[in-house]
A and B are shown apart, each in its own frame.
Chain A
Amino acid sequence: MTTLHTPLTPSDIHLLREGEHVLLSGVVYTARDAAHKRLVELLDAGRPLPFPLEGSALFYAGPCPAPPERVIGSVGPTTSGRMDLYSPRLMREAFHIMIGKGPRSPEVVAAIRQYGCAYLSAIGGAAALTARRVERAEPVAFEELGTEAIFSLTVKDLPLIVTNR
């Protein structure tokens, strides 16, 4: 099976086929509705983002709190369509991949082609299993948003399906 490791380059994406199963390792950044709104506000204000977007993987996810002696609680993808409004702006800014569940809008699919990015699907609802693939979790920005804050997750062999590229 194809394996991917962050940080990614456009050539990593170039070889992927839609429908292909891949395993992703490295750092992914969680960002969902509230974080996306803030990221785009930062860009629009001409201010820097709180993490390096270039070559990164955005994971549309809000984890459960970590129980004692665990790295993270259950974590899995949320519905990607709610991020459609923000994604083209982020893709214009820097090359990256997106991870979520469900289909993207025609505008996002077009932007993915235009900027050479990719959208990969995780299996919705398999969150206890996914938690086992997370080796490290650290807050990065917007901690006041609770589960909607941006966390960096170090993942090992996160199973994904290439959906748009």
Chain B
Amino acid sequence: MREITAAQITDAIAQLCVEANTHAGADIVAALEQARAAETEETPRQVLDTLLQNAKIAREDNLPICQDTGMAVVFVELGQEVHITGGALDGAINDGVRRGYREGYLRNSVVRDPVRRDNTNDNTPVVIHYTVVPGDTVTLTVAPKGFGSENMSAVKMLNPSDGLAGLERFVLETVRDAGGNPCPPVVVGVGAGGTFELAALLAKKALLRDVGTVNPDPFWDDVERRLLGAVNSLNIGPGGFGGKTTALAVHISPYATHIAGLPVAVNIGCHVTRHKGVMI
């Protein structure tokens, strides 16, 4: 067994919270630059220039890229040969978010109860997704999720007969209905298959994939390209002011499902779709 202390986990999480919120991913910046080159109209060009300049200022001034520094979603890949010592793993992660949000001057956007709505004032509790994997390492990914985009997401239980056409229609409708709300150009995460809750989790995880990477399954790679083309014909454009770039990418994560169903979840990520990870 390899020992990793709770304090190591807390340190790593705190640092990832600040980094994810202040440093736009290189893949995102490259995709925004590419989009800027493709736009021909004045307004979408200006919006993309503004977003690129904003990312640069955030990095230079160590300020959050967006004021909505999100609810902290943490993915943990826990090696089965790891023993966490000196405290509970759950507590260590929550401590890390608490510290990262305080030290990084990030916004506290979490309320204790969905209806009674008192702000917890430390951005906890955290949403944590654990998977146990072979090996003796822990991989932590912090994906702060803003709700301008989260609110525009949707799950639908399609019928098998709806097939690929039904899936594509649902994705397109969801992005169309979102309009300018999720701060486009967006990243579209799609979970297809599994069960009701797994489809949503797959859609969220699809947002962690680097923009510009290829789906390993040629069938789904083809669907992603076609859907991206269709989404970018919606003329929602950067900031929702019209233009060719409504999405930077469509990422689809398929999974086996039941003979009677075709669950599809669409999780919309904003123009910066933040996530930073580390392996300990």
Which A residues lie at the B interface, using CB under 8 A? Answer: 21, 34, 61-67, 73-76, 78-79, 81, 101-103, 121, 123-129, 131-132, 145-148, 159, 161
Contacts and interface: CB of A to CB of B under 8 A. Distances in A.
Interface in B52-67: 53-55, 57-58, 61-67
B50 A75 contact: no
Given A64-B64, A161-B241, A128 B181 contact: no
19 contacts: A21-B46, A63-B67, A65-B105, A73-B63, A74-B69, A75-B67, A79-B181, A102-B148, A102-B179, A102-B240, A103-B179, A121-B180, A124-B66, A124-B271, A125-B51, A125-B54, A128-B54, A146-B119, A147-B119
Contacts of A63: 67, 107
Given A21-B46, A65-B105, A121-B239, 10 more contacts: A65-B106, A66-B105, A73-B67, A76-B67, A102-B181, A123-B239, A124-B180, A124-B270, A127-B66, A161-B43
Contacts, number: 125
Interface residues of B, number: 40
Most chain B CB within a 10 A radius of its CB, from A73, A79, A81, A145: A79
Name the prevailing secondary structure of the A interface residues.
Answer: loop
Most chain B CB within a 10 A radius of its CB, from A21, A73, A125, A146: A125
B16 interface: no
B179 A62 contact: no
A73 B117 CA distance: 23
Contact of A131 (B63, B69, B181, B241): B63
